[in-house]
Amino acid sequence: MISLQKFFGKDDKFFDLLEASALEARHSVEALTKILSQPGQVPRLEDFHASKEADKKITEQINEAIVTTFVSQLEKDDIEVLSAALYKIPKTVEKIAERFIISAPMVKDVVFTKHISLLNAATQRVVELVGLLRNIGQGQLDSAKAINGKLQQIEAEADTVILEIFKDLYSGKHDAVKVMAMKDLYELLEKVIDRCRDAGIVVTHIVLKNS
């Protein structure tokens, strides 16, 4: 069984593709946080769809390369799982954009400052983790664990934030329709962070196996 390091050493297209996928996830969140900081402006869904489609094409390239390049079954699974985890980030972001456009009149006065900070931090950690794969097997485990630990902290903070938000939403002082719209948005925002956490776990697992 060849190692992931040796496999990537034969053809570094997988490094490039996985890093490109992580960056597309990052770009989709950057576009999202831009509209969250300006809730009074209705975004264009095309911008988010383009980012998701770009990542989808990268995922397809990865899947095609796996078929045409020799790799052990275990390594194939690793690459496929990570690729799928990364793609779920912009896919979920597009869902948020769809909901945001529909509920725009009801969320124009909502402040998303906490989520903007958490989303940016989470996707940046994902980009850093995926970047470690280029030097897998060269003492990257401690770095992977440290970055993944930060992702876990971000996810825990997001859980705390949404509980505080739900407490306010269910206080009885908000319109019922707005409560439903906001609950949907907040749950999807938390899901993006969960997707980032999932990708981080996959990378850390790959690094651990190859250390």
For 120-159, write each residue's pLDDT tens digit.
Answer: 999 999 999 999 988 887 788 999 999 999 999 999 999 9
* 198 CB neighbour count, 10 Å cutoff: 19
Q: How far, in whole angstroms, is CA 70 from its chain's centroid? A: 28
Whether residue 88 is predicted with pLDDT greater than 70 in this model: the reply is: yes
Give the residue, 4 or 65, on which the prediction is more confident: 65
Give the chain's mean pLDDT.
Answer: 86
Burial (CB < 10 A; 0-12, 13-18, 19+), residue 173, is: exposed
93-107 mean pLDDT: 87
Domain residue ranges in the chain: 4-209
Give every CB contact of residue 31 below 8 A, 6+ residues apart in sequence. 43, 47, 48, 51, 93
Q: pTM for the whole thing?
A: 0.87
Q: How far, in whole angstroms, is CA 104 from its chain's centroid? A: 23
pLDDT of residue 138: 79
Stated length of the chain: 211
22-29 mean pLDDT: 93
Assigned CATH class of 4-209: mainly alpha
